[in-house]
Structure 1
Amino acid sequence: MVDSDAPTFLPPGDTPARITEAGRLAEQPVPQSPAAVVRCVLGSLALAHRRAVRQVQDLSGRQVDAVHIVGGGARNALRCQLTADACGLPVLAGPVEATAIGNLLVQARAAGVVGGDLAALRGLVRQTQRIVRYEPGDGSGTARAAERRVGV
């Protein structure tokens, strides 16, 4: 696992090579195939989500009851399941076209086509869009991966 927030991963370029180099420098196993690189990226993102959820809880003093993944990432079942496992929370995945739907609803509300507050608009999304729920597993693999994660 790598620290997906590390500055080395921000600019465009050969990210798989950067991942391999990060592992090598940290004397960690490095991905040996494109599939292994993808698995590293997805697991690293899941750990980044876990870190963010914990920070939100610490800063707000409130517990998070679910993680919402919207947009194209909601289509990746492995990413969603790894995130549920890493966070120890259910993941609600969808809608895939969240930005377009939100834009449409705000415009429809402004034009008087739909009414209601934010809760009503969210209810409309739940009624019309497919949301997939992922339940967390035991998370033991994630804990081991968090201990191995390397930064650059």
Structure 2
Amino acid sequence: MGLELQEPVINEQSFADAFTNEIGINGTVRFLKNICGLWLIQESKRFWLDEGQDVAYAKMASLASEAEPFRSLINPDDPRFIEAGCMPEKIQAFCRETGQPVPESKGEIIRCIYESLALRYNQVWHSLMQYVDEAPTTLHIVGGGCQDNLLNQFAANAIGVRVAACPVEATGLGNIMVQMLADGAIADVTEGRTIVLNSSLVQTFEPADQVVWAEAKLQFSMICK
């Protein structure tokens, strides 16, 4: 998660917060912090597939939507989750170690992942906002993960801002846009981004259930300090 800035942010606070500065287009800076993300979902799916249970992503989201909210939470950036393998068992171990109900069903495990990711997004978002004078009103989610409507809605709920999801093929479209810019087919980055936006189906998600998510943030803060 990050911002496009004109200058890098290099100070003791950004170092302590583990933000990084990456070079963007036309000398801009991508000031960002990496979050574990849907790796947790992918690895859980692979674990169940190895056990002979091929659960489609749409089915995973459906199971999560039916599970009890905020029953168990994890820190998605805990080092144990970086390595591949046995992801559901690692999630269960984390919950057991932190004195929480241990998720047993697929729906409980997946919902735990989704809610924990959204709450982690909220933490990083508010940490990021201390580096800008005016906070954005929209979080843009791009790439394959933007197709996960349940997580998009949870992100909007957790952060309290609108989420705009698109485009799915962000990397490919960005590459094409830069080639068009180099070839003189478009005048500037703004024109290119307008073309990409007008060529994409944007789905937006507005914050909801703010009271229960506020309570969940307190619960999460005890787990993910």
Whether TM-score is above 0.5 comes out as: yes
1:43-122 to structure 2, matched below 5 A, reads 43-112=115-184, 114-122=185-193
2:111 — aligned with what? Answer: 39
Shift of 1:27: 0.9
Shift of 1:37: 1.0
Local SS of the residue matching 1:41: helix
TM-score where L is the length of structure 2: 0.63
Residues 28 and 148 in structure 1, CA contact (< 8 A), matched pair in contact too: no
What is the CA deviation profile of residues 79-138 of structure 1, one whole-angstrom value per residue up to 9, with x for unaligned ones? 0000000000000001011011101111122122x2122221111111111110100013
Local SS of the residue matching 1:68: strand
Q: Percent identity?
A: 33
Which of 213, 216, 219 is residue 142 of structure 1 equivalent to? 213
1:126 — aligned with what? Answer: 197
Higher relative contact order (CA 8 A, sep 6+): 1
What is the CA deviation profile of residues 5-30 of structure 1, one whole-angstrom value per residue up to 9, with x for unaligned ones? 11111111211111111111111122
Which structure 2 segments of 5+ residues have no match? 1-72
Between structures 1 and 2, the one with greater strand share: 2
Shift of 1:61: 3.4
TM-score where L is the length of structure 1: 0.92
2:92 — aligned with what? Answer: 20
Which structure 1 segments of 5+ residues have no match? none
- The alignment covers a number of residue pairs equal to 151
What is the CA deviation profile of residues 32-61 of structure 1, one whole-angstrom value per residue up to 9, with x for unaligned ones? 211211111111111111111101111223
The CA RMSD measured in Å over matched residues stands at 1.6
